[in-house]
Amino acid sequence: MTTYEVKVKTGDKKGAGTDANVHIILLDGSGKQTKPAVLNNRFKDDFERGKIDVFTFLDQTDIPEVTDIQLRRDEAGLFSDWFVEKVEVTNQNSRKTSVFPILRWVPSGVDIYFRQYDTFLPQSDPRPDQRNLELEEKRKFYEYEEKTPGLPVQVKKVPKDEVFSGQIEWHLLKSKITMKYSKTIEVIFGDGSWETIKDLKSVYSTPFENPKEMEDWESDVSFGWQRLNSVNPNLIRLCSEIPDKFGVTEEMIKPFLEGLTLSQAINDKRLFIIDLNILEGISVVDGYVCPVPIALFFVDGKGQLMPVAIQLFQQKGPDNQVFLPSDPPYTWLIAKMWYNVGDSNYHQAITHLEYLWVASEWCITD
């Protein structure tokens, strides 16, 4: 006989706890499985919201390392809905523990199988029938409607799977209270403007942690780092030649190539370019300007991506300067800031809004 320990963490969402009867079956990849075991501790109210329950049972089948589990619950009790956060199974003989992140509501009267870290592409899912049934069920709750004509559809009602847990709600409430009494909320939503960097830092100082680059945001190293690790890392391309519309000359950027010529930097694959030409012609509010920048980057001897030239609009010309790291410090800093305006507009209009539109169209027609 083999002793198994099953540790179940019920979620912290509203209504997550259950009074239902719960059964579990343990499986491995070779087809072996245990008999259904009832998860019940006598004289204890199991599966309460946000709690961890530990169960042990014996079975004749020895599965040294459990690869799959099957959960089933009924509708007994006043409250039968059940949101499971995680299940851990330990074979007390082999001392091997298998972890199953569930993170979903378990329906009643259905055998639901879970594999360790079961994230699969549709074509690779070992249980396509279960996947299809779950998708059909989700379509009943994930509904969209066009709340504003002409704009992307919005969720009709927040599904219960997406509702914050009690712990997160409490964290947000504490942050809100802290913001209120530290007057941070006035800085964010007030009528005034941020006059200094200190005003911006005050937003993060109390309720939130400071962003990683708060103390180094002005440097070229930080600017290059943001291109790879921030919101639009898919924009950067290897530069094989300087586009005709980009007013960069070899003489301009020679001081920043660590002794290489332009052709050598290109051949060594150390030059990269970002062209935000997709923003050309974008509509803006009267009195505002959206830059449509092109930026050139060089990988230095330390492996750092460094900006070496920025042109804020598409076509070169006497009224469209190419900015360089050798420009006066604040001129170069402002050029980088204007580039970031274009970068953020791309992120909001393309990465966010277009993705939301495509996703909503897929959800409606799929």
* pLDDT at residue 25, rounded to an integer: 97
Handedness of CA 218, 222, 226, 230 (dihedral sign): negative
Structure tokens at 5: 């320990």
Q: Which residues contact 236 (CB under 8 A, 6 or more apart)?
A: 227, 228, 272, 273, 274, 297
| Class of domain 214-355 as given by CATH | alpha beta
* pLDDT at residue 184, rounded to an integer: 56
In 3D, which of 11, 8, 6 has the Cα closest to residue 104?
11
What residue ranges do the domains of the chain occupy? 2-119, 214-355
Superfamily of domain covering 2-119: PLAT/LH2 domain (2.60.60.20)
* pLDDT at residue 191, rounded to an integer: 55
Please report, in tens digits, the pLDDT of each residue of the chain (366 residues total): 999 999 999 998 888 899 999 999 999 988 899 999 999 998 899 999 999 999 999 999 999 999 999 999 998 877 778 999 999 999 999 999 999 999 889 988 999 999 988 788 888 888 999 999 888 888 888 888 888 887 778 888 888 777 777 777 776 676 666 655 555 555 555 555 667 777 767 666 555 567 767 778 889 999 999 999 888 899 999 999 999 999 999 999 999 999 999 999 999 999 999 999 999 988 888 888 999 999 999 999 999 999 999 999 999 999 999 999 999 999 999 999 999 999 999 998 887 776 555 544 444 444
In 3D, which of 138, 133, 89 has the Cα closest to residue 110?
133
* pLDDT at residue 183, rounded to an integer: 52
* pLDDT at residue 342, rounded to an integer: 94
Total Cβ atoms within 10 A of residue 139? 11
